[in-house]
Amino acid sequence: MIVTLGEYIPQHGQMVLYDISGRPVHTQRIYYGQNNVDMTALASGIYVWKVMDIVNPSPTLPLQRKGETVVVREGKVVKM
């Protein structure tokens, strides 16, 4: 799976894959641009992924406090 971040530059970005029951099964650091996520060790099934970042105060995110974790992007993927 490839996750692309083109409109957001993460400061401390992290991608987490969750199985269908909500348990985290894979975590990795994520960067601006294309990020390869190796799912070969995972069983076939449906997974939910979230890209999260720890943000500092910013004019574009005025309600976020320093050190708060925000979900930047999320989605689902099916591994056959």
| pLDDT (tens digit per residue) in 27-58 | 999 888 898 999 999 999 999 999 998 876 55
Share of the chain above pLDDT 90, in %: 44
Query: What is the pTM (predicted TM-score) of this model?
Result: 0.76
What tokens does 29 get? 């650091």
Dist. CA 4–CA 78, nearest whole Å: 17
Q: What is the pLDDT of residue 62?
A: 57
Please state the domain count of the chain. 1
* Domain CATH for 35: 2.60.40
Yes or no: say if 79 and 39 are a contact pair by the CB < 8 Å rule: yes
The domain in which residue 70 lies consists of 2-79
